[in-house]
Chains A and B, each alone.
Chain A
Amino acid sequence: MPGIEECLAEAMGITGALGVSLVDWTNGLAIGTAGLGPDGDHEVGAADATELARAVTQTPSFADPDSGAPPAEDVIVTSAGHYHLLRFVPAPFDANVFLYLRLDRDTANLAMARLRLAAVAERLVLS
């Protein structure tokens, strides 16, 4: 029955992980952090990731409202040096949070990281 800290530590165990945070996309707050944020600043990273998360959850094209499933699963952004992986936490109530994992592109395996982060998100809310 892991808490937030344990889950974030587990996410940091993913190969290539540079930093991870648990963020509320309704307000941009980083509820928990581990590792290093972009430029060493998790708060700014959380606020920026929130913009992405909102773009997905608030637009019908991305949120897939008729699927009957929770709005969205992942958002993946790749850049020259990094992978940015957002995973929405499937909380049973309106928690409106996601995990934001930043990976080193040279060492990370994107497909594997996505699966492992999904498992961490599940475990965060299942007892």
Chain B
Amino acid sequence: MWPTDTLAPTATAVVPPVPPAPSVPPLLVASPVSVRQLAPAAGPFGRTAEVPGPYLTAGPAEPAPAPPAARRRAHAAPLPRRRRSSCAPATTFEAALTDLAADGSTGALHGPGGAVHLAGGLVVHAEAPAAATVGHLLTGAGRITARAWEDSLLLGAGRLAEYLLDSGLVGAGELELARMAATLDGAQEALAQPDGELRFDPAARPAFRLDRPLSVLELRGAVGHRRSLLDACWPSAALDRAPLRAAGGAPTRRTAVPRHRRQALLAAADGTRTAPELARLLGRSTYGTLLDVRQLAAAGLLTAPRPAAVPDPPPAADPPPAAVPPAALPDVLLPPAPRSYDSSDPEVGLLLRLRAALEAL
């Protein structure tokens, strides 16, 4: 992101005006990156000269710190460093959404992997093909029958939320929790989608809108936290999109997944359904299912029926399963992106998600 050829001129340009430099607090000077970014701004701040004592008194006497910093910078340059911000977007979708929100846009940003709805620059809804919707959550939990839900779609067309509340089918608190769960579920899929054609539709209005809209920064921070919780359970995304199968053996450790959830999930994991499909089947959120899947995988109760699963020799020896992987693999791998690192590597993916979560703090 920072070409080396632009670094040298900036560095030399910064060194000559000695007085402004000391106004940069020492903590920031310690980081070569920060020096480069703060130096241009240091002029105006330096002139106001309201920074208290220590910085100013210590400063003018030692113009020396700059050259060592410049030398270190030359070594640090090869590190891939994205555009500086408190929360740098990790995907094109995130970047586009951040820009739209900064403009205070209203409408929906659509991508192949999901959409996020904005109103006045704030997130009011999100949806994705692989994520649970409000309807899935309410009908899946048995709060509404599928029949009543379909009737509501017809009778409450255009004002579905009001209809559900007025008819007494759902409580206000419950509906808002379902909207929040659906939005976060959708956003997690939408924000992570690899590069694809994006489309902004200013006329789109979602059926459900959050009572308390989220800023894009909050949304991205929330999604980052959710991902890091998944990785804390089991630091591999390999099972998130693969067909799952119950391993059948005894658990290698206890899990915190409640028994009824665990049993239903393991019974439905037949080697053909993926985690989002299991979520639909069981009427749960995709995220809640992923959390269970990761915990069960950590306990050795769930596997993906692919030869990639090393601790599972029998399928590799068996001819039929060996025919499956060529078809399954392309679905699992992310499409190649113009990046200097391989984001399909689970370890790199984990590091990227950790970085996103840290930056979102």
Smallest distance from the beta carbon of B149 to chain A beta carbons, Å? 13
- Residues from chain B with a CB closer than 8 A to the CB of A63 are 256, 258
Most buried by B among A4, A68, A97: A4
B residues in contact with A62, CB < 8 Å: 256
Query: B171 and A125: CB pair below 8 A?
Result: yes
- Chain B CB count within 10 A is highest, among A28, A54, A89, A93, for A93
Q: B residues 170-196 with Cβ under 8 Å of A?
A: 170-174, 176-178, 180-181, 184
B270 to A: closest C-beta gap in Å: 22
Q: Which residue of A lies closest to B225 (CB)?
A: A27
Q: Which residues of A contact B232 (CB under 8 A)?
A: 58
Does B211 contact A4, Cβ atoms closer than 8 Å?
yes
Q: In the complex the two chains form, what is the Cα distance from A24 to B210 in whole Å?
A: 15
Query: Contact at A27–B165, with CB atoms within 8 Å?
Result: no
Known: A29-B222, A63-B258. A54 touches B229 (CB 8 A): yes
B92 is an interface residue with CB less than 8 A from chain A: no
Is A26 positioned at the interface, with any CB of B under 8 Å from its CB? Answer: yes
Q: SS class of chain B's interface: helix, strand, loop or mixed?
A: helix
Interface size, B (range): 35 or more
Whether the Cβ atoms of B258 and A28 lie closer than 8 Å is no
In contact, B256 and A59 (Cβ under 8 angstroms): yes
A60 / chain B contacts, CB cutoff of 8 Å: 254-256
State how many angstroms separate the Cβ of B93 from the closest Cβ of chain A. 19
Question: Which segment, of B35-43, B279-287, B326-334, faces chain A?
Answer: B279-287
Q: Is the CB of A65 within 8 A of B257?
A: yes
Alpha-carbon separation in the docked complex, A69 to B261 (Å): 10
Say yes or no: is B168 at the interface (Cβ < 8 Å to chain A): yes
Does B287 contact A26, Cβ atoms closer than 8 Å? yes
Least distance between B116 CB and chain A CB atoms (Å): 16
- Does A1 reach chain B (CB closer than 8 Å)? yes
| Chain B residue at minimum C-beta to C-beta distance from A57 | B256
A66 at interface, CB cutoff 8 A: yes
Within 8 A of B (CB), among A57-116: 57-60, 62-63, 65-71, 89, 91-97
What are 25 A-B pairs at a CB distance below 8 A? A1-B168, A2-B171, A2-B172, A2-B173, A3-B171, A3-B173, A3-B211, A4-B176, A26-B291, A27-B221, A29-B218, A29-B222, A31-B212, A57-B256, A60-B255, A91-B177, A93-B138, A93-B178, A93-B283, A93-B285, A94-B289, A95-B177, A124-B171, A126-B174, A127-B170
